[in-house]
């Protein structure tokens, strides 16, 4: 089985109302390719993410896990801290390089 590349989605700005719908739209379809190697959501340029947006992100990561696609969130403090505080089951990394390496390792284990 040959796995495809990892998809990188970069987010920026403030994720507040009505942003969860926009975030869901941006994430929609990223798991449609059955050969996807992984998804990296780069939220390092997000300066605030409200609870509904965090829930949308966590739901997406859960769906990726269900589809057996590696999903990693790269986040700075405004996003990483609330995810850690609530004990979200989300793979967090400090930079895109670490996230891509994680996705590559996960994809290699699926072969």
What would the pLDDT profile of 16-65 be if each residue is shown by its tens digit?
655 567 788 888 888 887 777 799 999 999 999 888 889 999 999 999 99
- Binning pLDDT at 50, 70 and 90, where does residue 1 land? very low
- Binning pLDDT at 50, 70 and 90, where does residue 2 land? very low
| SS (HEC) of the chain | CCCCCEEEEEEEEEECCCHHHHHHHHHCCCCCCCCCCEEEEEEEEEEEECHHHHHHHHHHHHHHHHCCCCEEEEECHHHHHHHHHCCCCCEEECCHHHHHHHHHHHHHHHC
What would the pLDDT profile of 67-76 be if each residue is shown by its tens digit?
888 999 999 9
């Amino acid at each position: 089985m040959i796995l495809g590349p990892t998809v990188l989605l970069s987010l920026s700005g403030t994720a507040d109302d009505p942003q969860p719908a926009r975030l869901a739209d941006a994430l929609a379809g990223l798991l449609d390719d059955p050969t996807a190697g992984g998804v990296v959501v780069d939220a390092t340029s997000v300066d605030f993410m409200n609870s509904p947006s965090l829930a949308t992100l966590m739901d997406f990561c859960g769906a990726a896990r269900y589809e057996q696609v590696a999903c990693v969130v790269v986040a700075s403090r405004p996003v990483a801290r609330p995810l850690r505080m609530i004990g979200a089951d989300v793979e967090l990394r400090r930079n895109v390089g670490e996230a891509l390496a994680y996705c590559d390792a996960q994809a290699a284990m699926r072969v």
